[in-house]
Structure 1
Amino acid sequence: MLRLRSYVLTHLISYPSASPISSLHGLLSTTAPAPAPPISASPAFAVEDYLVATCGLTRAQAFKASTKLSHIKSPSKPDAVLSYLAGLGLSGGDVAKVVAKDPRFLCISVERTMAPVVSGLTGLGLSHSEIARLVSFAGVSFRSRSMVSRLQYYQHLFGSFENLLLVLRRNAYLLSLDLQGTAKPTIALLRECGLDACDIAKLCVRLPRLLTTKLERVRAMVACAEGLGVPRDSGMFSEALRAVAFLGEKKIAAKLEHLKDTLGWSDAEVGTAVCKAPMLLRASKDRMQRLSEFLISEVGLEPTYVAHRPALLTYSLEGRIRPRYCVFKFLKENGLLHHDRDYYAAFMVTEKVFVKKYISPHSESAPHLAEDYAAACRGEVPAIFRLT
C-alpha cells in the first residue's frame, strides 16, 4: 500500500495541470491492482518511510522531521496536503524543501486553513504559480489565515509581488509576525524621519530585519544615523540608517577610526566624508586600503580632496577607477587631452558618457584605445596603452 501511495502522489506532483481529485481517480481506476483480501489489523503508519517515499526527503532529513510528526497515525491528512500542493503546481523538489523546512506543514487542514488562505491570496490577484512560489519561501505562514492581510500590507509596501519575494528570501517570518507589534510602528517611525514610500521600500528590501526588530532598537539606529551628522531631511538619511543598522556604537567608532588612519583624514574630514557617503562604513578594510593607496599614492590626489568627494571611494577600483585613470594618463601623455580635466569628473560620469567624451573622439589618433580600455575594465590592464 505504501508503494501504491508513493506512486499515486508522485504522479500528482509531476502533473500539476490536472485536478488532484480527477488525477487520483484516474490513477486508481487504471493502475490499482485487484483488491487484496481483508486484513485483520492495519499496520502502524511509518512516518519516516512516508517522508522518504512520498515527500522526497533524504533519509537524514526524514529522521529529523519525523520527530515533529510522531503524533500522526494515518497518512490521510499529509496525503490531502500533498494533493492540494500538486494542484497549485508545486514540483516534487519544491514539496521536499517545504516539508524539510517545516514538517508540520503536512498537518495543516486543507479545508479549514490552506484552501481559505489560497482563496484569499487569489482574491488579491495572485495566480496559482505565484502562490506556489510563495509556499516555497514562507510555508509556515500558511498555518494562519491572517497571513493574507499581512501579505496584502507588504505587497503594497514593497510595490510588487516580486519585491516581496526578494524580502521573503531573507526574512520569511514577516508573514507570520503581528503587524501591529513589529512592522507598522517601524514604518511609522521611518515616515517621521522624512522617508517617503519609495525610500522605505528600498531600505526594507535591503534590510528586511528592520521590520522584525524591536522599535526601541530601531530608534537607537535612527539616533546613531543622526549622530553621523546626517539630518533626517537629507536625501542621504536612508543610506546613513542602512550603514549603521545592527553595527553597534563600538564597531562604528572603530570604522571611523580606520577611515582616519587609512586615508589620513582629520576628525572633521571623516565627518564630512561620512556625511556625504555613509556607505563608507560598510566597506571592508581591505577595500578602503587599496582605494586609498591608488587614489592618494598613485593618482596623487590629496586626502582633503578625497574627503570632500567621498563618492570616489564607492566605485570599483578594478572595474572603474583604474581603467579610467589609465585612459586619462594615456591621453595626457600623448597630448590628446587639450585642457586639464578633473579626475573626479572622469570617474563619476556614466560609462556611456565616459566613452563618448574620452574614447570615441580619438578613434583615428589612437585606434587601439577602446580595445585597451575594455581589457583594463576586465582586469587585464596592458603594460602600456597603444597609440598606433
Structure 2
Amino acid sequence: MSIVSGLDPMLVNLARRALLQARVVLAVPNPAQTLFRLSSTSSESHSFTVSHLVNACGLSPESALSASRLVCFETPSRPDSILRLLRERGFSRTQISNVVTRYPRLLLTSPDTILLPKINFLRSRGFSDADVARVISALPRLLARSLENHLRPTLDYIGDLVQSGQNAVAAIKRCPRTLYEDPGTLLIPKITILRNAGVPPANIGHLVLYHGPIFLASTEQFDKAVDKVKAMGFKPSKMGFVSALHVLRGMSESLWRRKIGVYGKWGWSEEEVASAFRRHPWCMAASEIKITKAMDFFVYEMGIDSLQIARRPVVISLSLRKRIVPRCLVFRVLLSKGLVDTPSLATSLIVPEKRFLKEFVTRYLGKAPQLLDLYNEKMGLAS
C-alpha cells in the first residue's frame, strides 16, 4: 500500500492543489525581474546612444544627453550612414554637430530616400555643397520638410519674386527661414500688402533678395510698418520706400528715439532727422557710436556745420576708417591750397574709388605732391 492511499482523501486533495499552485507560481516570471531586464536593456541602449552622439557626432555630453531623449539606437549603422553622407557632401565636424544637436531625429531617417534627394535637389537649383552645408547647419529642420510638397514649390515661388534662380539661392542663403516657413504664412500676406501699397515687383524682389529677415515679422507688424513709412512721406514706387521699411523694421521704437536724441545733440531737430531719413534712410541704420564718431570728425576735425551733414546724410553711412578719414584729409589739403571748395566735400566722399583718385588726387599732384602718399598712408596702403 502506498503512503498516499493511507492518508485522508481530503488531505490528499489539499496537497495536490498546493502543488499545482506552486507550479503555476514557478512558471510565471517575476514582474520585478522582467522589469529589471527591460530597464537594463533600455539603459544600455541609452548609454550607447549618448556615447555615439559624443564620439561620432561631436556633441557635448550635455547636448548628447538632451538629444538622446528624442532618439535611441542600439547599433550605429543608420546614424553612421547619415554622418557619412554629410561628410561626403562637405559638412564640417562643427556643422554636423550643430545639425545633430538641433535636429537629432535626422539620424533615424533614411539617407537614400529622405536626406540625399533633398540635398541633390538643392544642388540642382544652384546651391554649392558649401551653400547646402551652411544653410542646413543654420536651419537643420529644413530636412524635415517635404521635397515635393514644400521645398520645390517654395523655392519656385521665391525664384519668381526675385526674378531668377540664382537670386533665389542668394536670398535663401541670407535668410534660410524663407525656404523653411510656409509661404502662405510668411511671404504671401506681406507681398500682398506691398503690392496693394503700390510697391513695384522689382522693388519687392529687392526686399526679398537683400532683406529677407524683414518678413519674419508678423503680418500685423509688417502692415503697421508699411503704413508708418508711407506716413513719413516715402513714395511706395521709389526704392527708398523699401530701404526705409527695412531700416524701420530693424530697430525698436526705443532705439529709434535714442538715435534721434544722438542727432539732437548735434543740433538737429526732429524734423531735420526725419528729413535726413527721407533723403537717405541708412543714416538711421548706423549705430549710436558710429553716428557720434562721424559727426565728431566732421564737426571738430573738418569744421563743417552739423546741419550741412543733415542735408547730405549719406556721408554718415560711409566707413570712417576706409572712406571718411582718408578722403577728408586729402580734401583738407586741397581746401587749404584753394584748389576745391567746401560744397564739393560730399562729392569727394560719395564717388567710387577710381573717380576719387582721378578727380581729387592725381589731378592735383603737381600742386600737392604729398596727396597720394597721404591717402595711401591713411588707407593702410603705404609701402
Is the partner of 1:342 in helix, strand or coil? helix
What is the CA distance between 1:122 and its match in structure 2? Answer: 5.9
Give 2:141's aligned amino acid. V
**Any idea what the Cα deviations from partners look like across 1:313-341, whole Å, max 9, x if unmatched?**
22233332333232233223335x17776
Find the partner of 1:235 among 227, 235, 239.
239
* Structure-to-structure mapping, 1:1-388, within 5 angstroms: 44-45=44-45, 46-70=48-72, 72-85=73-86, 88=89, 90=91, 92-110=93-111, 113-118=114-119, 120-121=121-122, 124=125, 131=132, 134-145=135-146, 146-158=150-162, 167-168=171-172, 171-259=175-263, 261-335=264-338, 337=339, 342-378=344-380
Aligned residues: 337
> How far apart are the structure 1 equivalents of 2:125 and 2:197?
31
| Structure (1 or 2) with the larger CA radius of gyration | 2
Is the partner of 2:239 in helix, strand or coil? coil
> How far apart are the structure 2 equivalents of 1:258 and 1:270?
10
> How far apart are the structure 1 equivalents of 2:248 and 2:323?
26
CA contact (8 A) 2:215 2:222 kept: no
Give 1:351's aligned amino acid. E
More off after superposition, 89-98 vs 162-171: 162-171
What is the CA distance between 1:156 and its match in structure 2? Answer: 4.4
Aligned-pair identity (%)? 26
More off after superposition, 185-194 vs 231-240: 185-194
CA change 1:339–1:264 in 2 (3 A) is closer
**Any idea what the Cα deviations from partners look like across 1:157-186, whole Å, max 9, x if unmatched?**
446667556655664433332111211211
Give 1:98's aligned amino acid. V
Gaps of 5+ in 2: 1-40
> How far apart are the structure 1 equivalents of 2:342 and 2:51?
76
Gaps of 5+ in 1: 1-40, 381-388
Q: CA RMSD in A?
A: 3.4
CA change 1:112–1:241 in 2 (3 A) is same
Structure-2-length-normalised TM-score = 0.74
> How far apart are the structure 2 equivalents of 1:118 and 1:323?
47
> How far apart are the structure 1 equivalents of 2:336 and 2:192?
57
Give 1:313's aligned amino acid. I
| Structure with more relative contact order (C-alpha pairs < 8 Å, separation 6 or more) | 1
CA contact (8 A) 2:187 2:215 kept: yes
CA change 1:309–1:90 in 2 (3 A) is closer
CA change 1:164–1:74 in 2 (3 A) is farther
CA change 1:299–1:100 in 2 (3 A) is same
**Any idea what the Cα deviations from partners look like across 1:260-308, whole Å, max 9, x if unmatched?**
x223123432222111112222222222222223323443333443222
What is the CA distance between 1:98 and its match in structure 2? Answer: 1.9
**Who is 1:33 aligned against?**
none
CA contact (8 A) 2:200 2:237 kept: no
CA change 1:151–1:372 in 2 (3 A) is same
What is the CA distance between 1:370 and its match in structure 2? Answer: 0.2
> How far apart are the structure 2 equivalents of 1:319 and 1:86?
40
Structure-1-length-normalised TM-score = 0.73
CA change 1:323–1:93 in 2 (3 A) is closer
Is the partner of 2:185 in helix, strand or coil? coil
CA change 1:309–1:119 in 2 (3 A) is closer
Give 2:212's aligned amino acid. P
CA contact (8 A) 2:170 2:209 kept: yes
What is the CA distance between 1:91 and its match in structure 2? Answer: 5.2
> How far apart are the structure 2 equivalents of 1:161 and 1:58?
38
> How far apart are the structure 1 equivalents of 2:291 and 2:130?
45
CA contact (8 A) 2:279 2:313 kept: yes
Between Structure 1 and Structure 2, the one with more helix by share is 2
CA contact (8 A) 1:117 1:148 kept: no
> How far apart are the structure 2 equivalents of 1:270 and 1:43?
65
Give 2:354's aligned amino acid. K
CA contact (8 A) 1:124 1:152 kept: no
